[in-house]
Amino acid sequence: GIQVEQSPPDLILQEGANSTLRCNFSDSVNNLQWFHQNPWGQLINLFYIPSGTKQNGRLSATTVATERYSLLYISSSQTTDSGVYFCAVEGQGAQKLVFGQGTRLTINP
């Protein structure tokens, strides 16, 4: 099945810093989503981005489907950005999201 690899596994930054999270995947995808999991376990949708670039406030994402990777950018980080960020993909012909191991982001004041 399709493999998803996220890097880095952990990232610690000061408030105000910028960060880039990476997601590599092993095959063509129909769907790619970025989520933020809050401390209570809720998965919050950030982007649905199987290809192209999207921006939402301080967050933006780019997926280069031909090279099988996606990047999530967080600018001017705030302490509320802390948590685990997951990339999940759905391979062609498969109706299920396969999740990466996540990147744990800690923003210190």
Partner 1 sequence: ETGVTQTPRHLVMGMTNKKSLKCEQHLGHNAMYWYKQSAKKPLELMFVYNFKEQTENNSVPSRFSPECPNSSHLFLHLHTLQPEDSALYLCASSIGLEQFFGPGTRLTVL
Q: Which residues bind to partner 1, rule: CB under 8 A?
A: 30-31, 33, 35, 40-45, 48, 50, 86, 88, 90, 95-102
Length of the chain: 109
Q: Minimum Å distance from CB 13 to partner 1?
A: 24
Please give the Cα distance from 72 to 84 (Å, whole number): 13
Q: How remote is the C-alpha of 29 from its chain's centroid?
A: 15
Shortest spacing between CB 14 and partner 1, in angstroms: 29
Burial class (CB within 10 angstroms; exposed 0-12, middle 13-18, buried 19+) of 39: exposed
Nearer to partner 1, 40 or 56 (CB): 40
Min CB(76)–partner 1 separation in Å: 25
